[in-house]
Amino acid sequence: MPIQYIAFFADVQATQVAKLRAALTDAANAGDEVYLIISSVGGNVSEGLNIAAYMRTLPVQITTHNIGQTDSIANVIFSAGTRRYANTNASFLFHGVSMHYERVDFIESQLEEQYKSVKRLRENIAAVFATYIGISIGDAEALMVSGATILNAQEALTKTIVHEVRDAAIPPNSRIVAIGNG
């Protein structure tokens, strides 16, 4: 079976995720196995949850490989791979969910609504990550709620986030789609 190599070196935002979705769809339509090489600082939680769920529905095997840093919601995308690898020098950053507001006034009920929304997103991230990786929701939440947790590749291996630590190598003459912020 042919392998489609997709390199995702982008923020998790609508434009970049749309490009990833298109590349994944093209590979699935061709019946190609997907090898997703990723290094991302994360971004939009909803976009990350949606693309990870989409990856899990595709009728092809998807391998994910962290070759640098996989942070925040990018960890959920990474976790959607059926096989997961990390380069020796790779890292994984986990943290809670943040919301950014500029010059917004809230009444008490709106603050409560915002709090519930952020809490729900964190719980969704933890539940999805735990399910994809095969760990408890409590263990996933523990990575997120204590400020920031950074794991190196070996630590990620001991927590079953990755199946193996090995450096990525794309074979010569491979088909590659690269997605970045530009």
Nearest Cα to Cα of residue 9 among 41, 45, 44 = 41
Q: Is 55 left (phi over 0), alpha (psi -120 to 50) or beta?
A: alpha
Q: What is the CATH number of the domain that holds 8?
A: 3.90.226.10
- The residue among 153 and 105 whose pLDDT is bigger is 153
> According to the model, what pLDDT value does residue 139 have?
94
Contacts of 49 by beta carbon, 8 Å cutoff, 6+ apart? 73, 76, 124, 125, 128
What is the tally of structural domains in the chain?
1
- Average pLDDT, stretch 163-181? 97
Domain enclosing residue 168, as ranges = 3-180
d(CA 67, CA 153) in angstroms, rounded, equals: 10
**Interval 62-85: pLDDT, tens:** 999 999 999 999 999 999 999 999
Quote the percentage of the chain above a pLDDT of 90.
83
Nearest Cα to Cα of residue 36 among 5, 15, 74 = 5
Nearest Cα to Cα of residue 37 among 156, 168, 173 = 168
Burial 165-182 (b: 16+ CB within 10 A, else e): beebeeeeeeeebebeee
d(CA 129, CA 142) in angstroms, rounded, equals: 12
Quick check: 23 and 10 in contact, CB under 8 A?
Answer: no
Q: How confident is the model at residue 157 (pLDDT cuts 50, 70, 90)?
A: very high
**Interval 29-74: pLDDT, tens:** 999 999 999 999 999 999 999 999 999 999 999 999 999 999 999 9
